[in-house]
Amino acid sequence: MDSAPDGDPKALLKAVDNLSKEDINVIHVGDIKGQLIDEAIQPLKPKIIVEMGTYIGYSAIRLASEALKMEQDVQIHTYDVNAQMVEIAQKMVNKAGLDSVIHIHHGRFHDLAPELQAILGSENPVDLFLLDHWKPSYVPDTQRLMELGLLRRGSLLIADNCLIPGAPEFVDYIQKAPEWNSKMVKTLYRENLTDEDGVIFAAYRG
């Protein structure tokens, strides 16, 4: 990571992608799924983004870089239960020069959601949220956003790892729930492997 210059998110993301080619334990979303996500958010031009599962900050930095190509006042709120990850991610975000855009919250989204509601207010719904944390939390965290009125018609949900490691309860929920219009895109689980994963993209009908 040190090889990337400060204030250069693209170089930092590339350094993480390169590291993951050597180290199978790196569990970031990666460049293949990253490109799918970049393309999906282009028509949305999201300003308010929420992410569950910060890890080392890769996806938050990637989402911020892409969103900032289209809008200036972007804010990302990202949640992680692991204090060590929060610390590493903050260093990565600082290195990328995105600390005024990416706000890292330590804890479970379920507990911190009222705080987010207060930060955003009623006029600023979430445009995009990415689920990439503990799979059994995908359904309750989605429902939490809905019950607190944090979404708008057209808000986009993206859920990683729906097939590997798999989130069967979530897949069943999102495909049946009348509030969501979803599709699963099959893609490689990660670079250098042939296993197929599924990423769900779902638009909120309101």
Beta-carbon contacts of residue 43 (< 8 Å; ≥ 6 apart): none
Q: Looking at beta carbons only, is 56 or 159 nearer to ligand SAM?
A: 56
Find the shortest distance in angstroms from Cβ 56 to ligand SAM: 6
Clarify whether 132 is annotated catalytic: yes
The verdict on 134 binding ligand SAM (CB under 6 A) reads: yes
Find the shortest distance in angstroms from Cβ 160 to Mg ion: 4
The verdict on 132 binding ligand SAM (CB under 6 A) reads: yes
Exposure b/e, 127-138, CB count within 10 A at least 16 = b: bbbbbbbebebb
* Distance between start and end Cα atoms, the chain: 41
**Contacts with ligand SAM: how many residues (CB under 6 A)?**
20
The verdict on 201 binding ligand SAM (CB under 6 A) reads: no
Q: What is the DSSP letter of 70?
A: T
Q: Where in the chain does DSSP place strands (E)?
A: 48-52, 75-80, 102-106, 126-131, 151-159, 180-188, 196-204
Q: Looking at beta carbons only, is 109 or 180 nearer to ligand SAM?
A: 109
Site string for ligand SAM, 18-47 (x = CB under 6 A): ---------xxx------------------
Exposure b/e, 78-110, CB count within 10 A at least 16 = b: bbbbeeebbebbbebbebbebeebbebbbebbe
User: Omega before 165 cis (within 30°)?
Assistant: yes
Q: Which residue is nearest to Mg ion (CB)?
A: 160
Question: Of 35-43, 74-82, 164-172, 188-196, which part binds ligand SAM (CB under 6 A)?
Answer: 74-82
- Let me know the angle formed at the C-alpha of 199 by 195 and 202, rounded to the nearest 5 degrees: 165
The verdict on 132 binding Mg ion (CB under 5 A) reads: yes
Residues that bind ligand SAM (CB under 6 A): 27-29, 52-53, 55-56, 58-59, 79-82, 85, 108-109, 132-134, 137
Catalytic residues: 132, 135, 160-161, 191
